[in-house]
Amino acid sequence: MNRYEGRRVLITGGGSGIGRATVHRILAEGGRVHAVDISEEGLAATAGRAAAEGRADRLSTAPLDISDEAAVRAGVAAAVGILGGLDVLVNAAGILRSAHTHHTPLDLWNQVIGVNLTGTFLMIREAVPALLEGDQPVVVNFSSTSASFAHPYMSAYAASKGGIQSMTHALAAEYSKQGLRFVSVAPGSIESGMTTGDGPGLPEDTDWSLFTKLAPALGQGFAGPQTVAGVVAMLGSEDGAFITGTEIRIDGGTHC
């Protein structure tokens, strides 16, 4: 399946988790990808796998802090130059921090909002001119099930993802007549750097009974990041051509 033959794709968060899985899925479908991430080590691992699979010629990478306005302006311009234009922007980069809300310092709140919500906005703002000149252009944003359902200790994260979801609707209306689609995915119960390892850094006195509603109905435990990558690939392709101004929840029925 080569739905991305000739398509030019910029993916944030391409150095780990769902972002990395999306890079490899779109490469597998014939696309040209420019992946950015704040982690150069993560990007090197992504590039290494692409090389091992014989797809290095269609992947370029660059470090980028999406919360830095000047860096985003330069980074998007560089990406458009490398790709020779832009058809798809995937805003997968994000961070998750957890704390009791009454113990949450302002700098933590601002960090989460700055990366997740403001970073997504900055990427979109800088990419829109190139996208409007692209072929069947689309932006795929990353919301979360936390935007609509309770995730304890994650108020900053939930606020950032709710903002992304609302922004996606507004942007879809604003650019609809110009043929630019905006959609979002809302993952939940997915294995990623956010949910494994250091994960969300839950408080030591976490009340785990509050998480009883966050277990997926399908399968055994969390799904792999490729589960989301497949949906992102559909949305950014011609198969998603009639989808805009909405979100797709990918959570194995956690919130059914």
Using one digit for the tens of pLDDT, what is the confidence trace for 99-143?
Answer: 999 999 999 999 999 999 999 999 999 999 999 999 999 999 999
- Please count the other Cβ atoms lying within 10 Å of the Cβ belonging to residue 241: 12
Domain that holds residue 137: 8-250
Domain count, the chain: 1
Residue 146 has pLDDT above 60, yes or no: yes
Query: Of 193, 195, 185, 180, which Cα lies nearest the Cα of 229?
Result: 185
In this predicted structure, what is the pLDDT of residue 201?
Answer: 75
The answer to whether position 3 is within a domain reads no
Using one digit for the tens of pLDDT, what is the confidence trace for 208-224?
Answer: 777 776 778 776 678 89
The answer to whether position 118 is within a domain reads yes
In this predicted structure, what is the pLDDT of residue 195?
Answer: 55
In order, the DSSP letters of the chain are --TTTT-EEEEETTTSHHHHHHHHHHHHTT-EEEEEES-HHHHHHHHHHHHHTT-GGGEEEEE--TT-HHHHHHHHHHHHHHHTS-SEEEE---------GGG--HHHHHHHIIIIIIHHHHHHHHHHHHHHTSSS-EEEEE--GGGTS--TT-HHHHHHHHHHHHHHHHHHHHHGGGT-EEEEEEE-SB-STTTSTTTT---TT--GGGGTT-S-SSSSSPBPTHHHHHHHHHHTSGGGTT--SEEEEESTTTT-
pTM of the model: 0.94
Using one digit for the tens of pLDDT, what is the confidence trace for 47-102?
Answer: 999 999 999 999 999 999 999 999 999 999 999 999 999 999 999 999 999 899 99
The answer to whether position 108 is within a domain reads yes
Using one digit for the tens of pLDDT, what is the confidence trace for 176-198?
Answer: 999 999 999 999 988 866 555 44
Query: Mean pLDDT in the chain?
Result: 93
The answer to whether position 256 is within a domain reads no
The answer to whether position 117 is within a domain reads yes
For position 142, which CATH number holds? 3.40.50.720
Active site residues: 157
The answer to whether position 131 is within a domain reads yes
